[in-house]
Chain A
Amino acid sequence: MLFGQRLILALLLLCVAPAWAELQIEINQGVENPTPIAVVPFAWQGVGSAPEDVAQIVDSDLARSGQFSPVSRRDMLSYPTRESELFFRDWRAISAEYVLIGRVSVGSQARIDFQLFDTTRQEAVQSGTVTGPVTELRMLAHGVADSVYETLTGIPGAFATRLLYVSVTRNPEGKDFYRLTLADADGRRPIVLLEGRDPILSPSWSPDGSEVAYVSFETSRPAIYRQNLRTGAREQLTNFKGLNNSPAWSPDGNTMALVLSKDGNPDIYLLNLTSRALTRLTRHFAIDTEPTWMPDGKSLLFTSDRGGRPQIYQYDLRTQKIERVTFQGPYNARARVAQDGRNVALVHQRDGRYHIAVFDLVTDRLTVLTETSLDESPSIAPNGSIVLYATKRGENSILGAVAVDGGVRFSLPAREGSVQEPAWSPYVTP
Chain B
Amino acid sequence: MKNVTLYGKWLGLVFAALFLAACSSNDTKEADAAAVTAAEQAAQEAAAREAEQQARAEAQRALEVAAADVGTIFYFGFDSSLLTDESRAQVDAHITALLGNNDSVRLEGHTDERGTREYNLALGERRANAVRDYMVANGVPSYRIETISYGEENPVAYGSGETNWQQNRRVELK
Q: Which residues of A contact B (CB under 8 A)?
A: 170, 172, 175-176, 199, 201-202, 217, 220-222, 242-243, 245-246, 259, 261, 265-266, 287, 289-290, 303, 305, 310, 331, 333-334, 347, 349, 354, 374, 376-377, 392, 395, 420-421
Interface residues of B in 20-57 (CB under 8 A from A): none
- 26 residue pairs from A and B, CB less than 8 Å apart: A175-B154, A176-B153, A176-B154, A199-B153, A201-B118, A201-B151, A201-B153, A221-B148, A222-B121, A242-B147, A243-B121, A246-B118, A287-B122, A287-B126, A290-B116, A303-B118, A305-B119, A310-B115, A333-B115, A334-B116, A349-B115, A374-B114, A374-B160, A377-B116, A395-B158, A395-B159
Q: Residue of A at shortest CB range from B147?
A: A242
In the complex, B90 has a CB within 8 A of chain A: no
In the complex, B149 has a CB within 8 A of chain A: yes
User: Which of A201, A217, A303 has a CB less than 8 Å from the CB of B119?
Assistant: A303
Contact A310 B117 (CB under 8 A): no
B contact residues around A245 at 8 Å (CB): 118, 121
Q: A256 to chain B: closest CB distance in Å?
A: 15
Bound state CA distance, A349 and B79, in angstroms? Answer: 13
Q: A217-B153, A245-B121 are in contact. List 19 more A-B contacts (CB 8 A).
A: A175-B154, A176-B154, A201-B117, A201-B118, A201-B151, A221-B148, A243-B121, A243-B125, A259-B122, A265-B122, A266-B122, A290-B118, A303-B116, A305-B119, A310-B116, A349-B115, A374-B113, A376-B117, A392-B113
Contact A199 B118 (CB under 8 A): no
Bound state CA distance, A310 and B79, in angstroms? Answer: 11
Contact A333 B119 (CB under 8 A): yes
Bound state CA distance, A175 and B154, in angstroms? Answer: 7
The size of the chain B interface, using a CB distance under 8 A, is 22
Contact A334 B119 (CB under 8 A): yes
Q: Residue of A at shortest CB range from B106?
A: A220
In the complex, B135 has a CB within 8 A of chain A: no
Bound state CA distance, A172 and B149, in angstroms? Answer: 20
In the complex, B76 has a CB within 8 A of chain A: no
Among B113, B147, B153, the most chain A Cβ lie within 10 Å of the Cβ of B153
How many interface contacts (CB-CB < 8 Å) are there between A and B? 85
Interface residues of B in 84-119 (CB under 8 A from A): 113-119
Q: B140 to chain A: closest CB distance in Å?
A: 18
Question: Given the known A-B contacts A175-B154, A217-B150, are A201 and B121 also in contact in the complex, defined by CB atoms under 8 Å?
Answer: yes
Q: A126 to chain B: closest CB distance in Å?
A: 42
B contact residues around A261 at 8 Å (CB): 122, 125
Q: B161 to chain A: closest CB distance in Å?
A: 11
Q: Which residues of B contact A (CB under 8 A)?
A: 113-119, 121-123, 125-126, 147-151, 153-154, 158-160
Q: B160 to chain A: closest CB distance in Å?
A: 6
Shortest 3 CB-CB contacts between residues of A and residues of B: A199-B153, A287-B122, A334-B116
Bound state CA distance, A347 and B113, in angstroms? Answer: 13
Contact B149 A243 (CB under 8 A): yes
Q: Residue of B at shortest CB range from A266?
A: B122
Contact A170 B154 (CB under 8 A): no
User: Which of A176, A243, A377 has a CB less than 8 Å from the CB of B117?
Assistant: A377
User: Which of A199, A220, A376 has a CB less than 8 Å from the CB of B116?
Assistant: A376
A contact residues around B113 at 8 Å (CB): 374, 392
Q: B115 to chain A: closest CB distance in Å?
A: 7
Bound state CA distance, A218 and B171, in angstroms? Answer: 20
B contact residues around A349 at 8 Å (CB): 115
B contact residues around A243 at 8 Å (CB): 121-122, 125, 149
User: Which of B119, B147, B160 has a CB less than 8 Å from the CB of A290?
Assistant: B119
Bound state CA distance, A265 and B127, in angstroms? Answer: 12
Bound state CA distance, A374 and B120, in angstroms? Answer: 14
B contact residues around A377 at 8 Å (CB): 116-117
Bound state CA distance, A310 and B118, in angstroms? Answer: 12
Q: A227 to chain B: closest CB distance in Å?
A: 19
Bound state CA distance, A222 and B151, in angstroms? Answer: 11
A contact residues around B154 at 8 Å (CB): 175-176, 199
Bound state CA distance, A172 and B154, in angstroms? Answer: 10
Contact A289 B119 (CB under 8 A): yes
Contact A334 B118 (CB under 8 A): yes
Q: Residue of B at shortest CB range from A375?
A: B116
Bound state CA distance, A420 and B118, in angstroms? Answer: 13
